[in-house]
Amino acid sequence: MSIVEVKVPQLSESVAEATMLTWKKKAGEAVAVDEILIEIETDKVVLEVPAPSAGVLAEIVQPDGATVVADQLIAKIDTEGKASAAAPAAAAPAAAPAPAAAPAAAAAATGGSKSDVAMPAAAKLLADNNLKTSDVAGSGKDGRVTKGDVLGAVASGAKPAPAVAAPAAKPALPQVAAPAGAPDLGERPEQRVPMSRLRARIAERLIQSQSTNAILTTFNEVNMAPVMELRKRFQDSFTKEHGVKLGFMSFFVKAAVHALKKYPVINASVDGNDILYHGYFDIGIAVGSPRGLVVPILRNADQMSFADIEKKIAEYGKKAQDGKLGIEEMTGGTFSISNGGTFGSMLSTPIINPPQSAILGVHATKDRAVVENGQIVVRPMNYLAMSYDHRIIDGREAVLGLVAMKEALEDPSRLLFDI
């Protein structure tokens, strides 16, 4: 027998521990080299743990849901072993009749909640896609539905099953919809679901930001017609040349960098009693994901072309949806942009992402009546909001910085000449 140990990969310096999600293999099953054995969730990313060698999973040392640290032993692989006879049947949960229905019914019978049959990360995905645990075949421990099960079901076109016991007329909370066959919970269902590590980390950082920064927000409005006309004029040729669509975010990134160069303190951060001025422009782009809000970083955004920005944002968006963003891709940043307009937000006061000192909030562009040269005209307007740390950024710099962004968007040619 030749044993190879499977250990927790290295975590970020700021991450002390992680949580085991769901084993994709059972003890006794054959594994191939680099086959993903389990996903481990930190407060920043989900890490995949591949098999270091081919063989048989001889022992699972740490079970689903265990808290682990870097380099901790979690499993052992026998490189000379053979899969047990029972392993193939255990590895094919889809062949068993109604694998998710049994745990669901058991949970209902014992008064359990949906969290009893769906992992926390899976519960969020189920709610986002309007699915119940009974709609998805669970491959986790005791038939629990994992994130991978939900992603696979969505990719294969799974649709919500018709309600069996819950009356259709009764409203249900997004994550509290009773599984098929569950007893009537009445008009006031509840469900207790533990926060994921990422959600808990987001909550911690938001509280930290509110308690340590002197946050103030300044607003302005921008006529998006010049950007919209420029985008419409070059969209086809841009897509043909670069293989990616020309979006609005690249204009906002360029406008932000333009303003940060004029007013460097907006790109600075507080370090104890010092102000740390950054000679580079790393722009964080807030992206929604099934696990929560993440902020991947555009490194050296001032050196990126419009095409570079659009390609990187598209790459980050795909990685965020797949849970593939790396820690290094979300570390650092000197300024952030949050686009609530994609969800229809008209106005908001974004919270600073520490240790940064400012963040730009972009909103929905709507046709509005405005006055130009004494005449009322209709223009596509967008309200910009910039929150800033008043400890180091005075109102003058904040207002002028936002005006510089407005001017760059209303006359994009300024970006070419840096004026």
The per-residue DSSP string of 151-177 comes to: HHHHHTT--PPPPSSS-TTS---TTTP
Among candidates 168, 134, 169, 131, which has minimal Cα distance to 151? Answer: 131
Asked if residue 253 lies in contact with residue 413, where contact means CB atoms within 8 angstroms, the answer is no
Question: Residues 64, 242, 302, 390: which is the catalytic one?
Answer: 390
Pairing of strands 283-285, 335-339: parallel
Question: Residues 34, 71, 184, 394: which is the catalytic one?
Answer: 394
Asked if residue 342 lies in contact with residue 255, where contact means CB atoms within 8 angstroms, the answer is no
Q: What letter does residue 23 receive in the DSSP assignment?
A: -
Among candidates 130, 85, 108, 128, which has minimal Cα distance to 191? Answer: 108
In DSSP terms, 19 is beta-bridged to: 41, 67
Asked if residue 186 lies in contact with residue 329, where contact means CB atoms within 8 angstroms, the answer is no
Task: Verify whether residue 394 is a known catalytic residue.
Answer: yes
Q: How many CA atoms lie within 13 A of 14 on its CB side?
A: 10
The per-residue DSSP string of 345-407 comes to: -----PPP-TTBSEEEEE---EEEEEEETTEEEEEEEEEEEEEEETTT--HHHHHHHHHHHHH
Task: Verify whether residue 390 is a known catalytic residue.
Answer: yes
- Residues annotated as part of the active site: 390, 394
